């Protein structure tokens, strides 16, 4: 089983508009964070070049957060292409069931770990009820069901909120990674926050998270490197 230190557990979300700004943060946070996450906005703007930029300027892992959601054949080919980029993690959506999740087996042994997104942390219980036209949606049960399906299908782990990390850790086998975004340190202030299911760094790790994804609390702080270091100290 992979042994992770506190630095390995911290993923910085490169939620910035372009490669120039991304490079500024990569250079600033090199040697502090264990992984850089490239999301949809940045990847559409810069393409694979942004991955090479990170590789040229940092020894940290790379997390390509594209939340792939298409027919299985397309997702399978996309994963094969991603496995040649030298990244460590990539996300797919879990909402379409086992057929999509089983595409993770396409890159088994190639160094690419597929993480299934269970439910976006911006999704509240009320919005989920409106979507499904039901007032009896058990969010935790829904996320756990998607997590167990992801594990059985061959995914390396899941992305979930801190609220569900504990039950997933209890129900899923050892070594199944739990990645928690929506991290908000008690000392941080995020204006116009669109996250609903949030957790502090220490609480997320205590509840079973293997990695935490932090964006705005680091990016928008006066001293991003010091903010990242402070979070690492909180999860030691």
> Could you tell me which residues come within 8 angstroms of residue 176 by beta carbon, excluding any fewer than 6 positions away?
147, 151, 156, 157, 158, 168
Let me know if 108 is a catalytic residue. Answer: no
Write down the catalytic residue from 52, 67, 88, 206.
67
- Which of left, alpha, beta for 180 (phi over 0: left; psi -120 to 50: alpha)? beta
Say how many CA atoms lie within 13 Å of 6 toward its Cβ: 13
31 CA to centre of own chain: 20
List beta partners, residue 126.
none
Token pair listed for 60: 């940290």
202 CA to centre of own chain: 17
Token pair listed for 214: 């932090």
The 10 Å CB-count burial string (b at 16+, else e) for 142-177 is: ebbebbbbbbebbbbbbbbbbbbbbbbbeebeeebb
C-beta of residue 181 within 8 angstroms of C-beta of residue 120: no
Catalytic residues: 67
């Amino acid at each position: 089983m992979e042994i992770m230190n506190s630095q390995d557990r911290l993923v910085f979300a490169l939620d910035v508009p372009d490669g120039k700004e991304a490079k500024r943060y990569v250079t600033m946070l090199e040697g502090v964070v264990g992984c850089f996450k490239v999301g949809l906005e940045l990847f559409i703007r810069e393409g694979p070049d942004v991955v090479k930029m990170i590789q040229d300027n940092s020894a940290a892992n790379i997390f390509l957060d594209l939340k792939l959601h298409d027919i299985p054949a397309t997702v399978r080919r996309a994963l094969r292409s991603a496995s040649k980029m030298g990244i460590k993690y990539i996300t797919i959506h879990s909402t379409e069931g086992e057929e999509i999740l089983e595409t993770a087996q396409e890159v088994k042994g190639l160094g690419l770990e597929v993480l299934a997104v269970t439910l976006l942390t911006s999704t509240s219980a009320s919005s989920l009820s409106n979507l499904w036209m039901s007032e009896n949606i058990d969010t935790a049960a829904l996320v756990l069901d998607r997590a167990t399906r992801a594990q059985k299908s061959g995914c390396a782990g899941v992305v979930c909120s801190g609220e569900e990390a504990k039950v997933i850790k209890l129900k899923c086998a050892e070594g199944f990674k739990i990645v928690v975004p929506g991290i908000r340190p008690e000392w941080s202030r995020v204006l116009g926050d669109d996250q609903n299911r949030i957790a502090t760094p220490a609480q997320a790790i205590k509840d079973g998270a293997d990695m935490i994804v932090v964006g705005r609390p680091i990016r928008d702080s006066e001293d991003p490197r010091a903010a990242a270091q402070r979070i690492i100290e909180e999860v030691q």
